[in-house]
Amino acid sequence: METDTRPALGDLDENDLAAATMSIVDRVRPHLAAIVTIVAILFLGLAAFAFLRSQTRARQAEVWDVLLNAIPLRDSDRLEAIAGDARGDAAGVRALIALGDMALSDGNDLLMRNPAQARKRLEEAVEFYAEANAAGPRGIAAERGILGLARAQESLGRLEDARLGYAALVEEYPESPFAALAEDRLAALDSPATQRWYNWLESRAAGDDGSAATTEPAAATSDEPAQPTADAEPPAG
């Protein structure tokens, strides 16, 4: 009876696996230094990315801190610096809207006392809001930008442009907390009394010599002196 000299199945598998492993090692060995270099570069790249990301977040936090402190102080220099340095970013857009709000408030306050200076500030408000809107903001920043631009256009007497802005806000952001205000302004702009108001304001500005007015409309407020309600009338005289 002959003895079976063939290797066991388990031994054959182990031998084949060892041979395959050594074959792979032999093929990889000449490229080992290059592989180690590539792995090291990838590791350093990931570390650098993590570091830069942390630095970016720290910088953004610092910018927002400066921004939120500058807004209540009406620090236009800092706001303009942020708008330039963070152009297109959320902080830059917020700075532009804050600058627009300041210019709009100043312009409305000056309408009855110095129409020429008021118009200058209102034009600046239009520019700030338009630049903010051009950055493609989202959420409440987009809503505030549209509303601010419409209000500035209205204060300048550009009623059709204002109407388009208010309508866009209502259509694009119907759930916005500013939508009701936009609807109120649309209703006011449809009133003949509003048109008479702006006609009177325009005629007064055309003949203004820069001196303070002796009377102000009863409907005027410190916030929106040039944006009367639907039943507002121009002053007598």
Task: Write the CB contacts of 101 (distance below 8 Å, at least 6 apart in sequence).
Answer: 125, 148
The domain containing residue 174 runs over which residues?
Answer: 74-206
Q: How would you label 183-203 residue by residue, b for 16+ Cβ within 10 Å and e otherwise?
A: eebbebbeeeebeebbeebee
pLDDT band at residue 7 under the 50/70/90 scheme: low
Query: Is 29 domain-assigned?
Result: no
- Number of compact structural domains in the chain: 1
Query: Is 36 domain-assigned?
Result: no
The tokens of 84 are what?
A: 């330039």
Query: Is 32 domain-assigned?
Result: no
Q: What is the pLDDT of residues 197-220, one digit of tens each?
A: 898 888 877 765 444 444 444 443
The closest alpha carbon to 227, from 218, 219, 215, 236, belongs to 219
Q: What is the pLDDT of residues 137-180, one digit of tens each?
A: 999 999 999 999 999 999 999 999 999 999 999 999 999 999 99
- Write the CATH number for 180: 1.25.40.10
